[in-house]
Amino acid sequence: MRYLLFAILLWAQPLFAQKNIRIDRGEAKEAYAYLNEIRQNPNKYRRSLQIANVQQVSRHQLVWNKTLAKVAEQRAYDMAKRNYFDHVTPEGIGPNYFINQGGYWLNPDWLKKKSLNNFESIGANHPTATEAIEAFIIGHGSPGKMHRKHLLGMDTWNGSLQDIGIGFVRVPQGSAYKTYICVLIAKHDW
């Protein structure tokens, strides 16, 4: 009898551990507008976001892409639902694969390994998506400030990226973090 009760509790646990994950598209769009504002006026944010080399910031305005936004939402949602935080899923699949599968065609060279990531920045536990953008740019905990380079297009590769989609989700309970953000900035080909 004790084993039967234990089995029932194990089966029912997921029912009681609902996370009520909520996709917040308003936050995602605010972060998009904020990022483009920073890219257009980096001198205005130089001090507050600790951007010493504003001359390297791409002034190219990013274009919202619905396909990338949907993939970014799915990526953030998946991390929240399955309680992990990584560019690669527990199955070893990376962002390039999901972007291409989502309908945003990528150069076949960028799909040779299922774990590849050329286009994604992720964050967790930021109260708002704009605060996540700030954290990415300031670069705490990011070796080489790679998120900054990605979001601000501060090198040849990242400066060539044109399209953006952002997914931001809130998790009231049952996950390691209260929020997850996924920023995809990409292009189709060389």
Q: What share of the chain is helix, strand, coil (3-state, %, to 5)?
A: 45, 15, 40
pLDDT score for 59: 97
**pLDDT tens sequence for the chain (190 residues):** 444 333 343 444 444 456 899 999 999 999 999 999 999 999 999 999 999 999 999 999 999 999 999 999 999 999 999 999 999 999 999 999 999 999 999 999 999 999 999 999 999 999 999 999 999 999 876 766 899 999 999 999 999 999 999 999 999 998 999 999 999 999 999 8
Residue 176: inside a domain: yes
Model pTM score: 0.90
Residue 4: inside a domain: no
Instruction: Quote the number of domains for the chain.
Output: 1
Residue 2: inside a domain: no
Residue 31: inside a domain: yes
Residue 171: inside a domain: yes
d(CA 31, CA 35): 6
Residue 11: inside a domain: no
Residue 145: inside a domain: yes
Name every residue whose Cβ is closer than 8 Å to that of residue 169 and which is 6 or more positions away in sequence.
21, 22, 23, 24, 73, 76, 77, 80, 179, 180, 181
Residue-number span of the structural domain to which 136 is assigned: 20-186
What CATH number has the domain bearing residue 25? 3.40.33.10
Residue 168 amino acid letter = F
Residue 1: inside a domain: no
